[in-house]
Amino acid sequence: MTTSVHTAAPAGRTLSPARRMQNMLMGGLILLATLLVVAPLILIFVYLIREGLGAINADFFTKVPAPEGETGGGLANAIVGSVQMLAMASVIGVLVGVSGGIFLSEYPRHPLMPTIRMISDVLAGIPAIVMGLVVYSMIVLQFGFSGFAGALALGFLMMPIVVRTTEEVLKLVPLTVREAGLALGLPKWLVTLRIVLPAAAGGIVTGVMLALARVAGEAAPLLFTAFGNSAINMDASRPMSALPLEIFRGATSAYPENQRLAKAGALLLITLIFLTSLLARRASRRK
Amino acid sequence: MSEPTQSVTRPPTPSSLSSRSDRWFEIIILALASIIVLVFLLSIYLLGTESWPALQRFGLEFFTQRTWNPVEGVFGALAMITGTLLTSLVALAISVPLAIASALFVAEYAPRWLANPVGYLIELLAAVPSVVYGLWALFVIAPVLSRWEQGYFQSPDKLELYTSCKNLWDSGSTTLQCFFVPSSFDGRGLALAIIILTVMILPYTASVARDVIRLVPQEQREAMYALGATKWEVISRAILPYARAGIMGGVILALGRALGETLAVAMVIGDSQDIIKSLFGGASTMASVIANQFGDAQESLHRSSVVTLGLTLFFLSVIVNYVARLIIGRLTPKGIQ
């Protein structure tokens, strides 16, 4: 029988120098490569703190961007727009995503199950910009740019992510739990909604949070749907701004003031996204 | 607790008493889940009808024609298709060894207290939004590249090389030597797009590679160690061959990401629809053209041509993702799936 032989590996001095050198060299290269992989994340974060933190003040949260060439202003329009569109997107993402997850996990024998699972997986890989084009043709061509169209695009992007995590979490609920419910004479739908779903609720919430963090940073699907708005807009039937949209416009603008706001917006956005995924990870680890 | 439950059978069947409400529940769940299929089919239909005028006008030449000229109404996507493939494949070639190395570090080298945070940092790389990568590349990396590119105006012999290459580019061709001579001087261009894409797709390969490396049975490692192998020999002869197919799945997943990556690329690639002539000059990808031109495309043929790029991208990513899932799916042990 194999026992752990790790520690019994031959002592270094029996190795030929060439092999020992190779071993050390590759270990060094692997360490170096890992540093190289992690470096951009740290560099980006440090850069944004250095350049953007100064612009985050009360104005940043309460004012709209100043006209080009003028100083001051904030990203209130973008923050308000992002919150509204993400809330609407969650409704679509959660309703369809959780239902899809239930279907894949609880009806494994259904003839449509393999098709829906495959299409959901494939949909998860469709570029976000293409989803923007789809919603443009579906909604914007008739009704014009709107916060609702933007939310729809984000919701479509959320769906497959939520399907996947919901399915995985539901499958972790032991079959015996379902059987216990059925043995009490409960119909399957009650067992699913009142026993299986609550047992998996934590994991589903984690999945939804991760999906939200994913789409919160998307600007590409919003370019031709929500379009952007330089004023604070609470009406979802009209064009709406979002943080990633303002970051995109600001970063590609020639005016230093807009660039400064973009950097501050980027700092806020990645801080929120990092916190969300950190929380989601904590929650899933505790399970 | 003490008695093992042996009663695990196939999924329970509904009892006849509650079959009617169960039937309704099934219909509702199926209807909601079918929205996913609906969105997929609707996407094909909408993109198809919108791109029909361009496809009808240009046919297959749309994909082989190298002129993209909105003013004259001639649209050929060869330059963008080349741009997409070139940026994605080169970025993939650079990122794969780095990603595998970092996966090996997390799974094989690092002690637990270090492996978890490093693994988490790599996953966070995937959470950074595209626009933020674009912003960073534009404000931090572009100036560095730009300084090097402007060196071509400072030394006489380099300037001479640049001038001869410029003539060649203007006549619509390039050589291998000229390919490495900068044609733009603000740092934006193909090279910057490749750099930022490399960083962006790293975490996808890295996290799949880490997962499959962890799935390699411990006996594989122990057998090699028992033969007196060094750590690197264990990795290169026992672990990597075993995990090869799974890592390939991660690589293809990353390819799918790279092909569709939009805003970061659109911000840094220099938006030129000419056929690619220099690594340090403007270019474009299918996704970047959609982002940069769809909003301004007034004329219907132009608009339709841009949507055709979207349709192409759609099918390209469907195929790539399907292949990736196939590979990963086949490797996942049945119990975990």
Give the distance from CA B285 to its chain's centroid.
12
Rg value, chain B, Cα: 25
The pLDDT tens digits of the residues spanning A267-284 come to 999 999 999 988 888 877
Q: Which of A75, A96, A130 would best serve as a mutation to test chain B binding (most B beta carbons within 10 A)?
A: A130
Q: Which of B230, B236, B268, B320 would best serve as a mutation to test chain A binding (most A beta carbons within 10 A)?
A: B230
Q: CB neighbours of B143 closer than 8 A, spacing ≥ 6?
A: B187
Query: Given CB atoms, is A253 within the 8 Å cutoff of chain B?
Result: no
Residue type, B217: P
Compute CA distances A150 → A89, A183, A246, B163, B292, whole Å: 8, 46, 14, 47, 18
Q: Are B126 and B134 in contact (CB under 8 A)?
A: no
The pLDDT tens digits of the residues spanning B98-116 come to 999 999 999 999 999 999 8
Q: Which residue bears the tokens 């840094």?
A: B268
Query: Given CB atoms, is B32 within the 8 Å cutoff of chain A?
Result: yes
Q: Chain B window 77-116: which residues touch A at a Cβ cutoff of 8 Å? A: 97-99, 101-102, 104-106, 109
Whether pLDDT at B334 is above 50? no
Residue of A88 and B330 predicted with greater confidence: A88
Predicted pLDDT of residue B336: 40
Query: Given CB atoms, is A180 within the 8 Å cutoff of chain B?
Result: no
Which residues in chain B are closer than 8 Å to A176, comparing Cβ atoms? Answer: 5, 7-8
Query: Given CB atoms, is A123 within the 8 Å cutoff of chain B?
Result: yes
**A60 in a structural domain:** no
- The number of C-beta contacts closer than 8 angstroms across A and B is 308
Rounded to whole angstroms, the Cα distance separating B157 from A154 reads: 53
Residue B104: count of CB within 10 angstroms of its CB: 28
Predicted pLDDT of residue A13: 56
Report which of B114, B135, B85, B20 is spatially closest to residue B283, judged by C-alpha positions.
B85
CB-CB under 8 Å, A106 with B129? no
Rounded to whole angstroms, the Cα distance separating A251 from B133 reads: 11
Q: Are A65 and A248 in contact (CB under 8 A)?
A: no
Q: Could you give the number of structural domains in chain A? A: 1
The C-alpha of A232 sits at a distance from chain B's nearest C-alpha, in angstroms, of 22
Rounded to whole angstroms, the Cα distance separating B292 from B284 reads: 10
Give the chain A residue whose CA is nearest to the CA of B252: A125
Rounded to whole angstroms, the Cα distance separating B196 from B130 reads: 10
Least confident residue range of B9-18, B157-166, B176-185: B9-18
Which residues in chain A are closer than 8 Å to B313, comparing Cβ atoms? Answer: 127, 129-130
The C-alpha of A193 sits at a distance from chain B's nearest C-alpha, in angstroms, of 10
Q: Which CATH architecture has domain B46-331?
A: Orthogonal Bundle (1.10)
Q: CATH no. for residue A88? A: 1.10.3720.10
Predicted pLDDT of residue B17: 54
**Local confidence band at B16 (pLDDT 50, 70, 90 cut-offs):** low
CB-CB under 8 Å, A133 with B310? yes
Q: Chain B window 280-319: which residues touch A at a Cβ cutoff of 8 Å? A: 287, 290-291, 294-295, 307, 310, 313-314, 317-318
**A201 in a structural domain:** yes
CB-CB under 8 Å, B129 with A273? yes
Residue of B154 and A158 predicted with greater confidence: A158
The pLDDT tens digits of the residues spanning A232-250 come to 999 999 999 999 999 999 9
Residue B74 phi/psi, 5-degree rounding, is: -110, 125
What are B265's two structure tokens?
């690329």
Rounded to whole angstroms, the Cα distance separating B44 from B315 reads: 9
**Local confidence band at B161 (pLDDT 50, 70, 90 cut-offs):** confident
**A115 in a structural domain:** yes
- pLDDT < 50 positions in chain A: 1-9, 12, 287
Which residues in chain A are closer than 8 Å to B202, comparing Cβ atoms? Answer: 37
Predicted pLDDT of residue B173: 82
Please give the span between the terminal C-alpha atoms of chain B, in angstroms, as a whole number. 26
Q: Are B315 and B240 in contact (CB under 8 A)?
A: no
Instruction: Quote the domain boundaries for residue A172.
Output: 80-286
The pLDDT tens digits of the residues spanning B69-103 come to 998 999 999 999 999 999 999 999 999 999 999 99
Compute CA distances B168 → A159, B58, B272, B337, whole Å: 50, 29, 17, 55
Query: Given CB atoms, is A226 within the 8 Å cutoff of chain B?
Result: no
Report which of B89, B10, B82 is spatially closest to residue B273, judged by C-alpha positions.
B82
Query: Given CB atoms, is A269 within the 8 Å cutoff of chain B?
Result: yes
Whether pLDDT at B332 is above 80? no
**A95 in a structural domain:** yes
The arithmetic mean of pLDDT across residues B281-302, rounded, is 92
Predicted pLDDT of residue A7: 47
Predicted pLDDT of residue B18: 64
Q: Which of B23, B39, B87 would best serve as a mutation to test chain A binding (most A beta carbons within 10 A)?
A: B39
**A121 in a structural domain:** yes
Rounded to whole angstroms, the Cα distance separating B128 from A266 reads: 10
Whether pLDDT at B337 is above 80? no
Query: Given CB atoms, is A272 within the 8 Å cutoff of chain B?
Result: no
Q: Are B185 and B150 in contact (CB under 8 A)?
A: yes
**A189 in a structural domain:** yes
**A34 in a structural domain:** no
Rounded to whole angstroms, the Cα distance separating B170 from B277 reads: 10
**A70 in a structural domain:** no
Q: Are B37 and A116 in contact (CB under 8 A)?
A: yes
